Structure formats: structure tokens, C-alpha cells
Amino acid sequence: MENSFKGKKVLLTAGPTYEPIDPVRFIGNHSTGKMGYALAECFAQRGAIVQLVSGPTGLKTDNAAITVTSITTADEMYAAVKGLAPDADILVYAAAIADYKPKVVADQKIKKAGNELTIELVKNVDIAAALGKEKKAEQFAVGFALETQNESENAREKLLRKNLDMIVLNSLNDTGAGFKHDTNKITIIEENATTAFELKQKTEVAKDIVDLIWKRLYA
């Protein structure tokens, strides 16, 4: 098989996280999980054994090489990924994890009262950064950055701070890129290289990412 990942174990995150406010409301984002699922399928088609930790999405896979662990919150995703990470050869953090969560989750639905509602938020764990501290020398880690300003600078800072081998940059300034699209336009940033791609279907973008990972590891 060309560019084979046969026998390699890939740990991949996808989709959003939902951080509950009360039993009926949550903090989330517009991630559909399409990019992460496309990557999982691409790796599996090339022989990899894929562990996919997925936030709430409407997506499914029937690929026998992909095992899906469904989670809702960032804490649940962290627990799942932390347990699976030591055995992975390649780690791809494609999920759009909520940066903050409510400090207190109400047991009952918060009733509408007054013109203002204040909710105190606390920061969620940065999963890629936390696991970057435990990454083994032989593991290859890939992150994602969705930026709206100072895109390259912010992505490169994340690459170094999170101990990643490459980071996939999306800009919301690019038409057709980011959430809620079947297309994406990416730039892959590494310590000593930057590779830009044109706007493509997310299935094609996944192939570009997987191709470059294979090239860095095995070419």
C-alpha cells in the first residue's frame, strides 16, 4: 500500500465539546467534526489502527479500523485521550475544545429573571499542551489552530508551547474555511517548514495532512 501506516496506532480527537450550564443549556462552538472524521478515515484506509475520541457530532463511521469513544465535555475528552495516548504512535488533536466551562453547573434549569445573567467561567485543560509534556521522543503530534488575527505567529507559538511536531492552521478570514463547511484551506507549520494549500474538500485536505505526516516520518 502506498504511503502505508500499516500497524501504526493513531489517536485522533474530533468535534466540539459541550460544557453544561444547566440541564438544558451549554457552552459550545460550531465545529461539525468533519475534518477529524475525514482524517480518521484517511489514516484507516492506509492501514492505521485509529482511536477516535469524538465530541458531539452527527457523524458516524463503519470502518472496522476506527474505534470511536464518544464524549461530551473537555474533561471527558482529556480523560479518554490521556488513557489512550501512551500507546499511540501518532497523535492528532483536531477537536475544537471549549476554552472555558461554567465554574458551577446548575442542577435545575436556570429560570429567566431580570435583564442580565452572569455566569462565572473557569479555564478547561489544554489537552494538547498537557499531553505534550508527556510526549515520548518517538511519538509524532499534530495540533490544529483556528485563528482570526496574527495567524502564523499564534500558530507557531502553539507549536512550540504544546511540544507539537506540526500544526495545521485554519484562518476564519479565508472564505470556505473553518467550521460548517465541507471545504477547508490550511497552512501546515513546522519548526523549519511552512506548507500552504489551496481551498479543497475536507476529504482532500485530510489526504494532504496524512501525506505530509507520512513524508516526515517515513520518506
Residues serving a catalytic function are 29
Residues 6 or more apart whose CB falls under 8 angstroms from that of 185 comprise 170, 171, 174, 176, 177, 197, 198, 199, 200
**3-state SS string over 137-159?**
CCCEEEEEEEECCCHHHHHHHHH
Cell numbers found for residue 160: 512550540
3-state class (DSSP) for residue 123: strand
Q: What angle do CA 162, 167, 170 make, to 5 degrees?
A: 125
Question: Quick one: which H or E segment has residue 201?
Answer: strand 200-201
Select from 17, 25, 161, 121 the least CA-distant residue to 79.
Answer: 17
Distance CA 173, CA 148 (A): 6
Q: Are 72 and 53 in contact (CB under 8 A)?
A: no
